[in-house]
C-alpha cells in the first residue's frame, strides 16, 4: 500500500478509547469488565466509530491500574476470561469495529515471571532488566528521578544491586538492547494478532532507548529526559518490531505514546516510508497550563501557546508525511472540558467547540469514553477519594516542597489522572448506572450528566455523530492539507483544510464571551455551505467580519 493510500485510510478512521475498569460493570463487583463492554456494543455502534483502544486488561497486580503487567498473554480475572475477549472481538468485527490493545513494553511488573526468575538468580532473565551496582561511594547507580516521584532505582532483592524503574518501583524497566526482550515483544504482538487484534498502542515507547551505559544527569529534569527519550536506537527497534510483527499486515493500525518527543522524531516515527508506526500521541498541547513545565503548578491555559503548538505540529507533520493522533482526553489527563471551558454555563457548547477544533485537524481522532456526552471532572473534597498512585505521591511531595495541604489538594484536584477515570455515567442512579455496588472510584456529577439523559434530549452526542460522519464523507478532512489562519487572534482557533481546488475553514471561539474577527480577504464573498455549526448558523457566503458566540464552532466549505 503506497503512502497516500495509507494516510487516506488513517484519515477516515475514528478511534474510541475505553478504560475497561470504568466502562461498565456486568457482575456487580464495582469494577468494569469485558462482558460489560459486550453489553454496551449497541451504544458503541451508534457513535459510528471504527476501532476501540482498550487500556490494559492483562493479568496485573494493579499497582498502576494495569500498566504493571504480570502476564501479557492472559486476561486478568478481574475483567473476565479469554472466551469473553474472543466474543468481544468477534461481535465488534461483525459490526466493522476493530480492536486496539495497549502494549506496555518499556517495563513489566516485578511480579512478572521474567523479573521473578531474575530475582531467583537466573542470569538470562537478569539481562532482561537494567540491574546495576551502586557507585563506588555507595550511592544509587545514577541520580535519575522516577516520573512518579523519588529515585528511579530500587534494591534488587537481597543483593547489593539495584534495578531501574522510571515509573513505579513495581514496574521494572526492560532492557531493549537485549535481542531476547525484542523477540518477546514481537511474540506477544503476534499472539494477539492471531486473536483478531488489528490495532496496537505502545505505552511510553520512546523511552525504551536508554543507553547500555547509564550516566548521571546534570540535575535538570529536561536534560535528564534527553538521556533516555527519543534516542536514535528507538527508531531501529521500532522498525525491527514492525517487520517482525504488526507490519506484516497492512490493515493493522499502530500508535505510539511519545512523551516529550520532537516534531522531527515524530515525522520519522510515522512517515509510511520508514515502516515504524501509523501515528503518535504527543502531549505538548496539554501542557499549556503547567507553570514552568510543572504539571502540579497550575496556571490558566495559555491559549496563544496552545494555538502555536497545534499549528506548528500540524503543518510540519503535513510537510514531512507524518501523522498525528488527535485528542484532548485520555486516561492520564483531566477532562478537557473542565480544563478549557466554563462548564457551569456553557458545557454543551464548550464540548462541541473542543470536539470541532481537534477532530477536524489533520490526523486520526481519538474519543475518550464519556467525552461524547460531555463528562467533566469529579468534585472530590478529600485526597482519600483518589486512588491514583501518581496523585497520592504528588500530594505528599508538594507538601514537602512547602505547599499547604489545601493547595496541594487543589493541585491534585485539577490535574489528577483519576479525573478521567471515574466510571462512565450511564444513568442518574447512585452509582451512575455503572454498577449495582459501590464502584472502585466515585462519580459525583452523574445526576446531571449521563448517557440516558444525553440520548434523550442532549446535543453533544449527536454533534459527535455528525463530526464523525463528516470525516468519513469529506475528503478535505480525511485527506486534506492544513494551513493556520488568524494566528495572532487572542480568542479564536481557526484553520483551513485544502485539497486540490477545494477548501473549507474551521472557526472556533475558545472563550465564554463573543469574539469578533476579520476574515482573510481571499475568503470574502465566496459562496459556500455551512457544514457544521453548534449555533445553527446559516450562511451562503462569509462576511468580511463575523462575531462568534461563546464557544461557537463553525465549519464552512467553499463551493
Q: Which residues are designated catalytic?
A: 203, 257
Q: Classify 156 as helix, strand or coil.
A: coil
CB of 470 within 8 A of CB of 464? no
* Residue 126 CB-density burial (10 A; 0-12 exposed, 13-18 middle, 19+ buried): buried
CA 553 to chain centre: 23
C-alpha cell at 518: 476579520
Q: Classify 528 as helix, strand or coil.
A: strand
Contacts of 103 (CB under 8 A, 6+ apart): 185, 188, 189, 200, 201, 202, 203
Query: Measured over all CA atoms, what is the biggest interatomic distance in the chain, rounded to whole angstroms?
Result: 77
C-alpha cell at 437: 455496588
Ordered alpha helix ranges (H), 432-525: 451-457, 460-473, 475-478
**How many of the other CB atoms lie within 10 Å of CB of 184?**
17
Neighbour-count burial for 85-109, b at 16+ CB within 10 Å, e otherwise: beebbeebeeeebbbbbbbbbbbbb
User: CA–CA separation, 31 vs 163, rounded Å?
Assistant: 32
Contacts of 196 (CB under 8 A, 6+ apart): 86, 89, 90, 93, 99
Closest Cα partner for 32 from 520, 437, 416, 526? 437
CB of 393 within 8 A of CB of 354? no
Closest Cα partner for 289 from 237, 336, 347, 222? 336
Integer angstrom CA distances of residue 84 from 52, 77, 118, 188, 421: 16, 11, 33, 19, 23
Phi/psi of residue 208, nearest 5 degrees: -75, -10
User: CA–CA separation, 174 vs 209, rounded Å?
Assistant: 10
- The strand ranges marked E within 183-228 are 199-202
C-alpha cell at 77: 480475572
C-alpha cell at 389: 498512585
Amino acid at each position: 500500500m503506497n503512502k497516500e493510500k495509507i494516510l487516506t485510510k488513517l484519515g477516515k478512521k475514528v478511534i474510541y478509547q475505553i478504560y475497561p475498569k470504568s466502562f461498565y460493570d456486568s457482575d456487580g463487583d464495582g469494577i468494569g469488565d469485558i462482558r460489560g463492554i459486550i453489553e454496551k456494543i449497541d451504544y458503541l455502534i451508534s457513535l459510528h466509530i471504527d476501532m476501540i483502544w482498550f487500556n490494559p486488561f492483562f493479568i496485573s497486580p494493579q499497582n498502576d491500574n494495569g500498566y504493571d503487567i504480570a502476564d501479557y498473554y492472559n486476561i486478568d480475572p478481574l475483567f473476565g476470561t479469554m472466551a469473553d475477549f474472543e466474543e468481544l472481538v468477534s461481535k465488534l468485527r461483525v459490526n466493522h469495529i476493530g480492536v486496539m490493545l495497549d502494549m506496555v513494553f518499556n517495563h513489566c511488573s516485578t511480579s512478572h515471571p521474567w523479573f521473578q526468575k531474575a530475582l531467583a538468580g537466573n542470569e538470562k532473565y537478569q539481562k532482561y532488566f537494567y540491574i546495576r551496582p551502586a557507585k563506588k561511594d555507595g550511592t544509587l547507580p545514577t541520580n535519575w528521578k522516577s516520573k512518579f516521584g523519588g529515585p528511579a532505582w530500587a534494591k534488587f532483592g537481597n543483593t547489593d544491586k539495584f534495578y531501574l524503574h522510571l515509573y513505579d518501583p513495581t514496574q521494572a524497566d526492560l532492557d531493549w538492547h537485549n535481542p531476547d526482550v525484542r523477540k518477546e515483544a514481537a511474540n506477544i504482538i503476534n499472539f494477539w494478532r492471531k486473536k483478531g487484534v488489528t490495532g496496537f498502542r505502545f505505552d511510553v515507547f520512546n523511552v525504551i532507548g536508554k543507553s547500555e551505559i547509564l550516566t548521571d544527569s546534570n540535575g535538570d529534569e529536561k536534560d535528564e529526559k534527553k538521556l533516555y527519550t527519543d534516542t536514535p536506537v528507538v527508531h531501529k527497534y521500532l522498525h525491527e518490531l514492525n517487520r517482525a510483527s504488526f507490519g506484516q499486515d497492512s490493515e493493522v493500525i499502530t500508535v505510539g505514546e511519545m512523551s516529550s518527543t520532537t516534531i522531527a522524531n515524530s515525522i520519522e516515527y510515522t512517515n509510511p516510508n520508514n515502516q515504524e508506526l501509523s501515528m503518535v500521541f504527543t502531549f505538548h498541547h496539554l501542557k499549556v497550563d503547567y507553570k514552568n513545565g510543572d504539571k502540579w503548578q497550575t496556571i490558566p491555559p495559555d491559549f496563544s501557546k496552545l494555538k502555536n503548538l497545534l499549528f506548528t505540529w500540524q503543518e510540519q507533520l503535513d510537510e514531512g508525511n507524518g501523522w498525528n493522533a488527535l485528542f484532548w482526553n485520555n486516561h492520564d489527563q483531566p477532562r478537557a472540558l473542565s480544563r478549557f471551558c466554563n462548564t457551569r454555563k456553557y458545557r454543551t457548547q464548550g464540548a462541541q467547540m473542543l470536539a470541532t477544533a481537534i477532530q477536524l485537524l489533520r490526523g486520526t481522532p481519538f474519543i475518550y469514553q464519556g467525552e461524547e456526552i460531555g463528562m467533566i471532572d469529579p468534585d472530590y473534597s478529600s485526597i482519600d477519594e483518589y486512588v491514583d498512585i501518581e496523585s497520592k505521591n504528588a500530594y505528599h511531595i508538594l507538601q514537602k516542597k512547602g505547599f499547604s495541604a489545601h493547595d496541594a489538594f487543589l493541585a491534585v484536584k485539577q490535574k489528577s489522572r483519576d479525573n478521567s477515570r471515574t466510571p462512565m455515567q450511564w444513568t442518574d442512579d447512585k452509582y451512575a448506572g455503572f454498577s449495582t455496588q459501590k464502584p472502585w472510584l466515585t462519580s459525583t456529577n452523574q445526576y446531571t450528566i449521563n448517557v440516558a439523559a444525553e440520548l434523550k434530549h442532549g446535543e453533544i452526542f449527536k454533534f459527535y455523530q455528525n463530526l464523525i460522519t463528516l470525516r468519513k464523507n469529506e475528503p478535505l478532512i480525511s485527506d486534506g492539507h492544513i494551513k493556520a489562519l488568524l494566528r495572532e487572534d487572542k480568542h479564536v482557533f481557526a484553520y483551513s483544510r485544502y485539497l486540490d481546488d477545494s477548501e473549507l475553514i474551521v472557526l472556533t471561539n475558545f472563550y465564554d464571551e463573543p469574539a469578533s474577527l476579520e476574515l482573510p480577504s481571499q475568503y470574502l464573498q465566496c459562496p459556500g455551505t455551512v457544514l457544521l455549526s453548534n449555533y445553527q448558523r446559516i450562511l451562503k457566503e462569509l462576511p468580511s467580519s463575523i462575531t462568534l458566540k461563546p464557544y461557537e464552532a463553525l465549519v464552512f466549505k467553499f463551493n
